[in-house]
Amino acid sequence: MARNSYQDLKREHLEAGAEAAAFLEAVQAAILEDKTGRGFIYEMFCYELAQAGYMQGDDLTQVLRPLGLTPGRVHSTPPLFNGLKMAMEDHIDDLEAAQE
């Protein structure tokens, strides 16, 4: 069964004191369910980019590593790549709009 959202999943696992490994397992399962990258994956990356204070050109390792992801896996997995690309574009657009 698909989760309502990444934030729901994170809250359910981490705020309840669950082990990080259980959270990562749940994230990986939800990633596999998102075949396009436009659902759970997109939301996950939007949330984590904002939480990390990501700015254009920053190293993405601080966003990927806590999710159990590597740049290589993201680049070789179309839904992950597409979701991250869309989330980064929207995040940068939001930052630029906030500066206007």
* Domain total of the chain: 1
Instruction: Report yes or no on 78 lying in a domain.
Output: yes
pLDDT in tens, the chain (100 residues): 344 689 888 888 877 776 888 889 999 999 999 999 999 999 999 999 999 999 888 899 989 998 999 999 999 999 999 999 999 999 999 888 988 7
55's enclosing H/E stretch is none
pTM across the whole model? 0.87
Instruction: Report yes or no on 1 lying in a domain.
Output: no
pLDDT at 74: 97
Q: Tell me which amino acid residue 25 is.
A: E
Q: Within 13 A of 77's CA, how many CA atoms are on the CB side?
A: 19
Instruction: Report yes or no on 39 lying in a domain.
Output: yes
CA distance 50 to 37: 18
Q: Per-residue pLDDT tens for 22-44?
A: 889 999 999 999 999 999 999 99
Question: Residue 62: which domain range?
Answer: 6-99
Instruction: Report yes or no on 87 lying in a domain.
Output: yes
